[in-house]
Structure 1
Amino acid sequence: MPQNNLLHNVAQDRICTALGIKIVASNEIILLAKAAGYDSVFIDLEHSIFSIKDVSRLCSTSLLSGITPFVRVPYQCGNGFVQRVLDGGAMGVVFPHLRNQKQTTEFYVLEEARKAVSCTKFPPKGTRSLTAALPQFDFQRIGAKDLIQQLDSIGSTVFVMVETRECLENIDVIAAIEGVDVLLLGANDLSLELGILGEWEHPRFQAVLENVSAAAQRAGKVFGLAGLYTRPDICKRVVQDLGARYILGHLDMGLLAMAMNKNMEQLRGMDCRV
């Protein structure tokens, strides 16, 4: 099956770069990402109107292009939905908004994290259902044992987004769960929950970066960062000083908007009346 660029890059102590996709459903966005040199794509099903068919098409094109496709699913979307995303070609799933629902915070946040792992792995590690002819293997028939081993080990990376108070307060025990691969800090939602939305220099936010990094290092997991698209200075420090190895660079919509604004500046500069 195709290489998992995240696991490959981390093994070489290199970062895995990612392009976020939430509005462009055509295969051309993957080819553009390939030409630009991205290692992976972060296909967003939480904040988009993409269909499963859209996502599967993007994943298949990514696999053929040597780019690793990861998909963020909606909160509490259900095991069956995650199954369809994985069967559609995703090499990993991003689970957002782990939070407390009832009783003690720790119990329910941990239960959500364990369920995230369980629905992505085959028995005895989890509860994923077995099928054949998957896009990860070019739809060829593969022996069941070999298929399970490869998908469990490199074809079903589990990202837990750290973007709630409950997740942050239980970060060490979540990081210690077998099968959780990446602690992905969602800067915008987490700063919103902490009451410091967009205050990236705030001591509390800076402390959060350090705490999540430390938890990832103690558990031997990957530390990732998303949401700081306009602060490359902070991203650079997080990579170089705090050991982050997965960075969501920007979303397709943001990149298009920036390029269009820049182009309009150039065009207005041609008008002699301005």
Structure 2
Amino acid sequence: MAMACPNNLLKNASRNTICTAFGIKISPDTSIIHIAKAAGYDSLFIDLEHTSLTIKDANQLCITAISAGITPFVRVPHQCGFGFMQRVLDLGAMGIIVPHIHGIEDAKKAISISKYPPLGKRSISAGFPHFEFAPISTAQLSEEMNASGSTVFIMIETVDALEAVDDIAAIPGCDVLLVGSNDLASEIGTLGDWDAPKFISALQRVGEACKKHGKLMGIAGLYHRPDILKKVINEFGAKWIVGAQDVGLLLQGGKANSELLRSLQDGGLKKA
């Protein structure tokens, strides 16, 4: 039996098209998965780092996503432990997003727990949502999971990681270099100045490392600057593009609707 859900990031990248991601931060309700798919997203950024979502919430979201054909990727908390990271992958995540990387050793450790031999040392188990819990051979499990069921996203959001980006990109099993725009900008001293040459140069440096070593570039935190995203996609080669999260979209949409309703009263906008 083949994996139940295609890895839309890898599939789209093979066609030289971007893979869009919807962020989930506050909603454990699986209805959000179908809303994201109906909205046209290809994948999910399920955040367990800056959120109250639990590993059980992630489990249910991932299972629903796999059934719906929208690829679930999960960001784990900083220093959560290898056991937690492995559980996230076992429970249905098709990729793990690892924050606060400070160099090649951090990246190698993340890959080691995420990939089966020969790429890593992940423990063999059985009964995976990725295959709709059907029994499969360990050989098939290892091969398919390493290839498309355990995409490793190494976040480039520290000065240390940026300086070592070429070496990190060269590591076997490192699939995606994901720029965390806010943290990276904060570390290099350009937070808030998204047009700063130093920040744009950092994005270009990540893109060049990805192209050199045949890895994918991802970008998060810049959905409010489509002009920069366009440059990152078309010039630097980014393929995984993280959009807004559920909380931001609800607030944005709610505010627009509230202002629209108030504008209907003669005299324009008035607050109660």
1:123 deviates by 2.5
| Counterpart selection for 1:110 from 96, 104, 112 | 104
Name the stretch that deviates more: 125-134 or 78-87.
Answer: 125-134
Provide the rounded CA distance (Å) in 1 between the counterparts of 2:86 and 2:57: 15
Residue 124 of structure 1: CA displacement?
3.0
Task: Provide structure 2 residue ranges, at least 5 long, that are not aligned to the other structure.
Answer: none
Within a 5 Å distance, the mapping from 1:182-197 to structure 2 comes to 182-197=176-191
Q: List per-residue Cα deviations over 1:16-57 (Å, max 9, x = no partner).
A: 000011101101110001101110000001101111100000
Cα deviation for residue 272 of structure 1 reads 2.2
TM-score, scaled to structure 2 = 0.96
Deviation at 1:115, TM superposition (A): 0.6
Of residues 149, 158, 163, the one that matches 1:164 is 158
Question: Deviations for 1:191-227, whole angstroms, at most 9, x for unmatched residues?
Answer: 1111111211011011111111111111111011100
Give the corresponding residue for 1:8. 11
Q: 4+ residue runs of structure 1 moved beyond 6 angstroms?
A: none
- Structure 2: how far apart are the matches of 1:21 and 1:204? 30
Q: Distance in 1 between matches of 2:172 and 2:116?
A: 14
Given that 2:181 and 2:219 are in contact with CA atoms closer than 8 Å, whether structure 1 keeps it comes out as yes
Identity over aligned pairs, percent: 52
Cα distance in 2 between the residues matched to 1:59 and 1:207: 35
Give 1:143 deviation, angstroms. Answer: 1.4
Alignment of 1:107-186 (within 5 A): 109-186=103-180
Q: Please give the alpha-carbon distance, in whole angstroms, between the structure 2 residues aligned to 1:43 and 1:87.
A: 15
Q: In 2, Cα distance between the equivalents of 1:147 and 1:213? A: 31
CA shift digits 1:215-244 (9 cap, x unpaired):
111111101110012111111111111111
Determine if contact 2:22/2:44 at 8 Å carries over to the other structure.
yes
Instruction: Give the aligned partner of residue 262 of structure 2.
Output: 268
What is the aligned counterpart of 2:37 among 15, 20, 34? Answer: 34
SS in 1 for 2:16: coil
* In structure 1, C-alpha distance between the alignment counterparts of 2:192 and 2:214, rounded to whole Å: 29
What secondary structure, in the 3-state scheme, does the structure 2 residue paired with 1:141 have? coil
CA distance in 1, matches of 2:227, 2:28: 31
In 2, Cα distance between equivalents of 1:148 and 1:238: 33
Task: Give the corresponding residue for 1:201.
Answer: 195
Once residues 215 and 141 of structure 2 are traced to their aligned partners in structure 1, the CA distance between those partners, rounded to angstroms, is: 24
Which residue is 2:83 aligned to? 80
TM-aligned CA deviation for residue 273 of structure 1: 4.6
Pair 1:21 & 2:27 matched: no
Amino acid of the residue matched to residue 20 of structure 1? Answer: G
Using the TM superposition, give the Cα deviation of residue 250 of structure 1 relative to its aligned residue in structure 2, in angstroms: 1.0
1:103 corresponds in structure 2 to: none
Q: Indicate the RMSD between aligned Cα atoms, in angstroms.
A: 0.9
Q: Secondary structure, in 3 states, of the residue corresponding to 2:114?
A: coil
In structure 1, distance between residues paired with 2:237 and 2:116: 31
Q: What residue in structure 2 maps to residue 64 of structure 1?
A: 67
CA offsets 1:71-122 (integer angstroms, 9 cap, x no match)? 00011211100111011100000011112xxxxxxxxx21110011100111
Q: 2:223 aligned to 225, 229, 241, which one?
A: 229
Structure 1: which 5+ runs fail to align? 100-108
For residues 88 and 9 of structure 2, the distance between their equivalents in structure 1, rounded to whole angstroms, comes to 18
* Separation of aligned partners in 2, 1:190 and 1:230: 16
Measured in 2, the distance between the counterparts of 1:140 and 1:268 equals: 54
TM-score (ref. length: structure 1): 0.95
Alignment partners' CA distance in 2, 1:152 and 1:207: 32
Return the alpha-carbon distance in structure 2 between the equivalents of residues 8 and 79 of structure 1: 28
